[in-house]
A and B are shown apart, each in its own frame.
Chain A
Amino acid sequence: MGRKLDPLRKVARGPGRKAKKQQGAETELKKILVEDIDAKRLSSRGRKRAAKRRLVEEKPSAGKPIPKQNGKVQAAATGKKPIRGFSDDNSVWLKPVKRARTEQETASKEVEEESEEEEEQSEEEGDKGQSEEEDAGALSMSESDDLQDDFGGSSDEEDDEEAEEGEELLPIEKESAKLKQKKLKKKLDGEKTQDSEESGIQLNVDSDELFQLPSAEDLEKELSTGPDLSTVQERIKDVVGVLKDFSQRGGASSRQEYLGVLHKDLATYYSYGDFMIQTLSDLFPVSELVDFLESCEVHRPVTVRTNTLKTRRRDLAQALINRGVNLDPLGKWSKTGLVIYDSSVPIGATPEYLAGHYMLQGASSLLPVIALAPQENERLLDMCCAPGGKTSYMAQLMKNTGIIVANDMNAERLHSVVGNLHRLGVTNCIICNYDGRKIPKVLGGFDRVLLDAPCSGTGVISKDPSVKTNKTLQDIQRCAHIQKELILSAIDSLDAQSPTGGFLLYCTCSITVEENECVVDYALKKRNVKLVPTGLDFGKEGFVRFKERRFHQSLRLCRRFYPHTHNMDGFFIAKLRKFSNSIPAAPAGQETENPDPAQPNEQKEGGAASTTKGAQTNTPKRDPSKSPKQGPSKSPKKGPSKSPKQGPSKSPKKGPSKSPKQGPSKSPKKGPKKTFGKIKSKTAKGVQSKTKKSFKRKSK
């Protein structure tokens, strides 16, 4: 294969025709390159020096023809091709050939000729270059030295030296030198002034730090003219800055004045009502408050929850991506959530949605169900279920086993519950339309209860901006009152003896303390429940003390979620457990109060003192004010007095108050015999530990 080596065949050695040509080109290139280097060397200063050189030359040999050199130097300096024509003495009469001939030739020929001419030219240039070099050599050795130095890089000192050689300079050059010096001076001056300017800025900052509060008149004026949002924003920033570092920058005005101005500004800038601003500012430190308000202006990302009864998240994600939806998994804590960034189709009407493969649901409303952690074959109650998102999530976690009672007070909203549950293929649900406060009379013995209480919605301002101005203290109190009733009835419908639980999950989409910590604290006082960890590893702890209120220490176990820290709607979650042992006694005692929910509320709210059962466990540690009273009364109770007290209280109360249908038959029978021993021991323990705590607290 391939060519055989033929000894007879001689291969031409050495450079071929093309090679030769290339060599020629090389030599020519070299010339050009040399020129280039020259061009490089002769920078602006080089030019000057060349001019100087010229002068020096001129003086001794005035007879030498200047134009020639001039042309050369210029050409070299600008790096352009030299002027056409002949540069030697004959240039006067000799003319380039081209000009004479071009017009007569055809276009095509012209091209060829031009190239030829260029060759000629380059040859000429080569000659010139050589001659130039020779000339330069002839001129003076010192100058050439200079040139070489220049090549390495000019220094200012040289320039100065040159400037000193004033006698040798032309007037123009002198002026240029002057100019240069001026510039230099200016530069130095400028630096100085800049410095001073900077210091001036520094000064300005200093003066800004002493931020002046607008006077009352200013504010009035602003009100009459209508506030300028940009100035308001500016002022918010300033005031927040001052408040952050008040001890340093406080100035003459008091903190209260600053806060007053800030609240007013925030209210105008974000268009809140005064009450809401006040409530929110009680919850957050100043800087966080601004963050919160800012994040309430932005919508939270759309999230969906995969319905694992019908599909898997991976399949769903693929199907949605194929529809042009841009999505991502929600977070480490959720195995079913997806965040939708953008979508080319309405996400609430895709065939996948209609087929029940997913549910549109905020990230924050996944949390309570995760925290509730329903188990298979349990009996669950969702007290306020509309529109059925959490309910269906519960069914999904239970894999459609067990029973879920989904209740909502509003019959209108139940339509969507029915639709959603059927669409998602949930079959273990009973949907009913009771008032949540009456549920314990109808149904009871639930293993877990989810109470997503109706609330003022201060956590979801981004969804419903009307909250900003609509809500008043009364609204919040009204909500809180309903919530207290609901949480009690939720606890009453729990079965504490359930082998898997007896858990209540209380959540609201509000962030006010009145609707959250207060309600839970109230439940702790009124019923035999305790707080347990939610099982969520993020979120902020609940408040233990808030303004004048002091709550039970275990309220730390609650979780709060904020839009600005967790990028989900504002949310509150508390997980409570009904003590298993105290069922016979405690609920019996509570049952007496059960009627309350239906009745007017004052009894309940005011009646904290009347809680007999509360005394045995929770109240002492929580209420410092009460502890003196109860502390002593309790400690004797601990051992002997407890059982007698519980015994009687339970039996008479339970009979009448509880509805005949459900639990009662079992609890009175079972309760006393079986659990009594346990109760004693456990409650005793509980009381002991608690009393210890309370004593500690007292001592503090």
Chain B
Amino acid sequence: MRPLTEEETKSMFEKLSKYIGENIKLLVDRPDGTYCFRLHNDRVYYVSEKILKLATNIAREKLISLGTCFGKFTKTQKFRLHVTALDYLAPYAKYKVWVKPGAEQSFLYGNHVLKSGLGRITENTAQYQGVVVYSMADVPVGFGVAAKSTQECRKLDPMAIVVFHQADIGEYIRHEESLT
């Protein structure tokens, strides 16, 4: 377990800012204590300093996880967000997409969101903007990348993809092994 290097921090924050923009600040400076990012087994954990201190007692190979896992660095040193980060992305998300109940199930199986399943979308969403996907009951179900801007979405045919799938909460069941 170690702090992130300069490069790693940069690539991770770049990724995060696609979803929550300048709200990253709120993640770093929290009123309820110091929180920090730590790298462990190529995974980035977001954890309070208090917990971090206790966790330093634990041997590296015995430590499985702490705090919240945000994602991992691939072998090519790119950062990939995990669905476990959703709890922190959803409250700060700048652009959101709501999917209809019928399409919700399909999205939870790892499919992209089609125009026919699109319930609502935040105004002014640009193309390739990171968006958090909600169900119509306002429950965050995952996140992805907008395939088209809001304007273009209006005149798409129903089978066209609106949001590219990146992560969804169905992964808690489908990829339980790879979450850590």
Q: Are A418 and B141 in contact (CB under 8 A)?
A: no
Contact partner of A354 (CB less than 8 A), chosen from B65, B67, B173, is B173
Q: Contacting chain B: which of A81-89, A423-431, A510-518, A586-594?
A: A423-431
A418 touches B180 (CB 8 A): yes
State whether the Cβ of B129 lies closer than 8 Å to any Cβ in chain A.
Answer: no
In the assembled complex, the Cα of A431 lies from the Cα of B172 at a distance in Å of: 17
B70 to chain A, nearest CB (A): 11
B179 and A319 form a contact (CB under 8 A): no
Is B63 in contact with A418, judged by CB distance below 8 angstroms? no
Q: Bound state CA distance, A427 and B32, in angstroms?
A: 13
Residue of B nearest to A420 (CB): B172
Considering the chains assembled together, what is the distance between the CA atoms of A693 and B87 in angstroms?
56
Partner of B54, one of A319, A405, A421: A405
- Distance of A141 Cα from B15 Cα, bound (Å): 117
Query: Could you tell me if A432 and B58 are in contact, using CB atoms closer than 8 angstroms?
Result: yes
Pair B139/A427 contact, Cβ less than 8 Å: no
- Give, as a whole number of angstroms, the nearest-CB distance from B41 to chain A: 12
Closest to B180 in A: A418
Q: A347-362 interface mask toward B, CB cutoff 8 Å, 1 = contact, 0 = none? A: 0010110111100000
Decide: A430 and B55 in contact? CB cutoff 8 A.
yes
A442 and B57 contact, CB distance less than 8 A: yes
Contacts of A405 in B (CB 8 A): 54
Asked if A415 and B180 sit within 8 Å, CB to CB, the answer is yes
- When the two chains form the complex, which single residue of B55, B68, B104, B176 contacts A427, counting CB atoms closer than 8 Å? B68
- Interface pair A661/B57, CB less than 8 Å apart: yes
Q: Is the CB of A354 within 8 A of B64?
A: no
With A431-B66, A433-B64 known as contacts, the answer to whether A351 contacts B140 (CB < 8 A) is: no
Contacts of B169 on A, CB cut-off 8 Å? 351, 354-356, 423
A423-449, CB under 8 A of B: which get 1 and which 0?
Answer: 101011111111000000011000000
- Smallest beta-carbon distance A490→chain B, Å: 17
Q: A-facing mask of B32-62, CB < 8 A → 1, else 0? A: 0000000000000001101100110111001
A403 in contact (CB, < 8 A): yes
Residue in contact with B108 in the complex, picked from A354, A415, A433, CB distance below 8 Å: A354
B125 contacts partner chain A, Cβ-Cβ < 8 Å: no
Contact across chains for A430 and B58 when beta carbons are under 8 A apart: yes
Distance in Å: Cβ of A433 to nearest Cβ of chain B:
5
B12 interface hit (Cβ, 8 Å):
no
Task: Report A432 CB to chain B, min CB distance, Å.
Answer: 5
Instruction: For A408, give the chain B residue with the smallest CB separation.
Output: B64
Q: How far is the CA of A427 from the CA of B139 in the complex (A)?
A: 19
Chain A residues 393-416 with CB under 8 Å of chain B are 403, 405, 411, 414-416
CB–CB A431/B65 < 8 A: yes
Min Cβ gap B52→A in Å is 9
Beta-carbon contact of B104 and A430 below 8 Å: no
Check A418 against B65 for contact (C-beta < 8 Å): yes
Q: B69 contacts the other chain (Cβ, under 8 Å)?
A: yes
Q: Which of B51, B55, B64 has the most chain A CB within a 10 Å cutoff? A: B64
Q: Is the CB of B135 within 8 A of A351?
A: yes
| Interchain CB contact under 8 A, A423 and B58 | no
Interface size on A, residues (CB 8 A): 34
Contact of B64 among A319, A352, A403, A414 (CB under 8 A): A414
- Among A349, A351, A403, A415, the residue within 8 A (CB) of B177 is A415
Q: How far is the CB of A15 from chain B (nearest CB, A)?
A: 70
- Asked if A422 lies at the interface with its beta carbon under 8 angstroms from chain B, I say yes
Give the shortest distance, in Å, between A389 (CB) and chain B (any CB). 15
Residues of A within 8 A of B176 (CB): 415-416, 419
A610 at the interface (CB under 8 A from B): no
Instruction: Say whether, besides A319-B137, A349-B173, A422-B84, A431 and B54 are in contact (CB < 8 Å).
Output: no
Chain A residues whose CB sits within 8 angstroms of the CB of B180 once the complex forms: 414-415, 418
B139's nearest neighbour on chain A, judged by CB, is A355
Interface contact B179-A419, CB-CB below 8 Å: yes
Give the residues in chain B near A431, CB-CB below 8 Å. 63-66
Q: Give the interface centre of A352, A417, A421, A428 by most chain B CB atoms within 10 Å.
A: A428
A662 contacts the other chain (Cβ, under 8 Å)?
A: yes
Provide the B147-180 mask, 1 if CB < 8 A to any CB of A, else 0: 0000000000000000000000110110011011
Do B87 and A425 touch (CB < 8 A)? yes
> 1/0 per residue B110-154: CB within 8 Å of A?
000000000000000000000000010101110000000000000
Chain B positions within 8 Å of A418 at CB level: 64-65, 69, 179-180
Question: Across the interface, do B179 and A415 meet the contact criterion of CB distance under 8 Å?
Answer: yes
- Docked pose: A360 CA to B86 CA in angstroms: 21
> What residues of A have a CB within 8 angstroms of the CB of B108 in the complex?
351, 354
B101 to chain A: closest CB distance in Å?
9
Binary flags per residue of B87-117, CB closer than 8 Å to A gives 1, else 0:
1000000000000000011001000000000
**Could you say which residues of chain A place their CB within 8 Å of the CB of B179?**
415, 418-419, 422
A419-B172 CB under 8 A given contacts A427-B68, A428-B48: yes
Chain B residues in 8 Å Cβ range of A442: 57-59
Residues of B within 8 A of A428 (CB): 48, 51, 67
A427 touches B140 (CB 8 A): no
**Bound form: Cα–Cα A434–B64 in Å:** 10
* Across-interface contacts of A423 in B (CB, < 8 A): 169, 172
Collect the chain A residues with CB atoms within 8 Å of residue B47's CB. 427
A428 to B67, CA, bound (A): 6
Nearest-Cβ distance from residue A425 to partner chain B, whole angstroms: 5
Bound: A379/B135 CA distance, A: 36
Contacts of B58 in A (CB 8 A): 430, 432, 434, 442-443
Q: How far is the CB of A266 from chain B (nearest CB, A)?
A: 40
Determine whether the beta carbon of B54 is less than 8 Å from that of A403. yes
The interface centre, meaning the residue of B67, B104, B141 with most chain A CB atoms within 10 A of its CB, is: B67
CA distance A433 to B63 in the complex (A): 6
A432 touches B84 (CB 8 A): no
Q: What is the distance, in angstroms, from B74's C-beta to the closest C-beta of chain A?
A: 19
Q: A427-B67, A432-B62 in contact; A354/B170 too (CB < 8 A)?
A: yes
Closest Cβ neighbor of A662 among chain B residues: B57
**B69 close to A422 (CB less than 8 A):** yes
Q: Which of A354, A417, A434 has the most chain B CB atoms closer than 10 A to its own CB? A: A354
Closest CB in chain B relative to A518 CB, distance in Å: 30
Cα–Cα distance between A415 and B65 once the two chains are bound (Å): 10
Shortest CB-to-CB span from A662 to chain B, Å, is 7
B173 touches A351 (CB 8 A): no
Contact residues, A77-98 vs B (CB, 8 A): none
| Cβ–Cβ < 8 Å partners of A662 in chain B | 57
In Å, the complex CA distance between A415 and B179 comes to 8
B139: which A residues are within 8 A, CB to CB? 351-352, 355, 357
**A430 engages B48 (CB within 8 Å):** no
Separation of A423 and B28 alpha carbons in the complex (Å): 22
For A355, the chain B residues whose CB sits under 8 A away are 139-141, 169
Residue of A nearest to B82 (CB): A422
Q: What is the distance, in angstroms, from A576's C-beta to the closest C-beta of chain B?
A: 23
Q: Give the Cβ gap from B158 to chain A, nearest Cβ, in Å.
A: 23
- 13 pairs of residues in contact across A and B, judged by CB atoms under 8 Å: A351-B141, A354-B108, A355-B140, A355-B169, A357-B139, A415-B179, A416-B176, A418-B64, A418-B179, A422-B68, A425-B87, A430-B54, A432-B62
Q: Kindly list 7 other residue pairs between chains A and B, CB separation below 8 angstroms, not including A351-B169, A416-B176, A419-B172.
A: A419-B176, A425-B87, A427-B67, A427-B87, A429-B66, A431-B64, A442-B58
Interface residues of B (CB under 8 A from A): 47-48, 50-51, 54-55, 57-59, 62-69, 84, 87, 104-105, 108, 135, 137, 139-141, 169-170, 172-173, 176-177, 179-180
Query: 8 tightest CB-CB pairs across the interface, nearest first?
Result: A354-B169, A422-B84, A431-B64, A431-B65, A419-B176, A430-B66, A418-B180, A423-B172
